[in-house]
Amino acid sequence: MVVCLALVGLALVPAEATAKTYKIATGVPDGVGGMKRLRQAITEIARVTEGRVKFKLYPGGVQGDDFTVVRKMRIGQLHGGVMQVNPLIRFYTDLQIYNMPLQFQSYAEVDAVRKKMDEGIRVGLKEGGLHVFPLIETGFAYLLSKKPVANPKDMINMKVWIPKGDPLGERLVKMFDVSPVPLGISDVLAGLQTGLLDALAIPPSAALALQLHNHVEYVMDLPLIYIYTVMVIDQKIYTGFSEADKVIVSRILDDALRDIDGDSRKDNLKSYQALLDQGIKSVSPSADDLGEWDIIAEAAVGSMLNAGEVSATILEEFEQNLMNARTGQAP
C-alpha cells in the first residue's frame, strides 16, 4: 500500500519539475571567452532553477560540424546548438540576409540594421520550430591571402577556402573565377601549409585563434561578409519549460549572449590590428577596385534572390534599413 501511494505521488509530480539535462553542441573551442561566459550562464541556470533546467555543452566540434549538429537535433540526439546560420536555412530561408557579400561598409551600419531586423530573424526561426536567443556577432570576414588582392581580377585562379557543406558559399566564390576548396575549419591550417589554399575570408579573431595568420602575407582592407552565430534549441523543449523557468532561462542566456555579442566586436577590432602588428600587409582597394567589387556584390545578391536564398520582401526591408543607416534617416 505504501509503495502504491509512493508511485501515485511520483505520478502527480508535474513534468516541468522533473530535472533533465539538455545537450548543446558547438564548434567553438572550449576555453575561449565566449564559451567561458556561456558556461557561467548555464551554471547559473541550473542553480536558479534548482536543477529543473540543466544544459550540457559539447564544444570544439566533438559532436561534428554544424550540419551534423542540426541532423542530430532532428533525431533527438542533441537538443540545441551554437552555430553559424547556413545549416539552419531549412528552418528559415531568410537567415542569410546579413551574409550577403559586400553589403555593410561599417559596424555602425551593422548595428543600425540589426536593431531593426534581429527580432524578425528570431521570429522566423521560431515559426520554423526553433527557439533562438539573441543573435551573436562573429564579425566581418576579411580576405587573407598569400598574394596581394585589391581587385576581383587579382583572385582569378586562386584556391579559396569555403566551409564544407556550404553550397551558397561555393556558388558565390565561383563568381570570382576562383577554385573553391571546401574544408572543415579544422583542416584549413593544413590547407594553407600544404598549398591546397591560397586565400580565405575569415574574421581576424578566428584567424589568430587558429594560427592561420602565420601562413598568409596580406589582408585586404575591405569587409567582405558579415557573419553571425545563433544559439538555438528545439521550440518544443522551450515550450515545455514552466513559465517561471522560461523567464529564468531567457533572462540569463539573453544577458550572456549579448555580452558575447559585444565582446566579439572588441576582439575582432583588436585582432585586426594584431594582424598588422605581426607583419601582415594591408591592401587597400582603389576607387576603381571598389567599383569592381560592387559589380560582383550586385550580381551575388541577384543570384541569391533568383535561387530563393533570400526573399524579395526581406531584401527590400534590408536595403531600406541600410539606406536609412547611411543617410541618417529615421525609419
Q: Please give the angle made by the CA atoms of 252, 68 and 135, to the nearest 5 degrees.
A: 30
Q: How far is the C-alpha of 110 from the C-alpha of 139, rounded, in Å?
A: 10
Distances (CA, A) of 241 to 20, 22, 77, 254, 287: 11, 12, 19, 16, 54
Q: Note the pLDDT of residue 10.
A: 34
Minimum mean pLDDT among 85-89, 189-193, 197-201: which range?
A: 85-89
Confidence of residue 234 (pLDDT cuts 50, 70, 90): very high
Contact 80, 22 (CB under 8 A): yes
pTM > 0.75: yes
Query: For the chain, which domains are there?
Result: 2-327 (3.40.190.170)
Confidence of residue 19 (pLDDT cuts 50, 70, 90): low
- Cell matching residue 52: 529543473
Give the DSSP letter of residue 128.
T
- The residues, any chain, with a CB within 8 Å of residue 236's CB and separated by 6 or more, are 129
Q: How far is the C-alpha of 80 from the C-alpha of 78, rounded, in Å?
A: 6
Q: Please give the angle made by the CA atoms of 180, 185 and 188, to the nearest 5 degrees.
A: 65
Average pLDDT, the chain: 90
Q: How far is the C-alpha of 263 from the C-alpha of 268, rounded, in Å?
A: 9
Segment 211-228 shows an average pLDDT of 96
For the stretch 21-31, pLDDT in tens is: 999 999 888 87
319 Rama class: left (phi>0) / alpha (psi -120 to 50) / beta: alpha
Segment 139-148 shows an average pLDDT of 97
User: Does the pLDDT at position 76 exceed 60?
Assistant: yes
Contact 253, 41 (CB under 8 A): yes
Confidence of residue 174 (pLDDT cuts 50, 70, 90): confident
Confidence of residue 16 (pLDDT cuts 50, 70, 90): very low
Say which residue, 167 or 19, is predicted with more confidence: 167
Q: Note the pLDDT of residue 260.
A: 95
For the stretch 146-167, pLDDT in tens is: 999 999 999 999 999 998 877 7
Minimum mean pLDDT among 131-140, 161-170, 268-277: which range?
A: 161-170
Q: Note the pLDDT of residue 330.
A: 57
User: Does the pLDDT at position 171 exceed 60?
Assistant: yes
Closest CA to 275 of 210, 199, 218: 218
Contact 178, 100 (CB under 8 A): no
* Burial class (CB within 10 angstroms; exposed 0-12, middle 13-18, buried 19+) of 145: buried
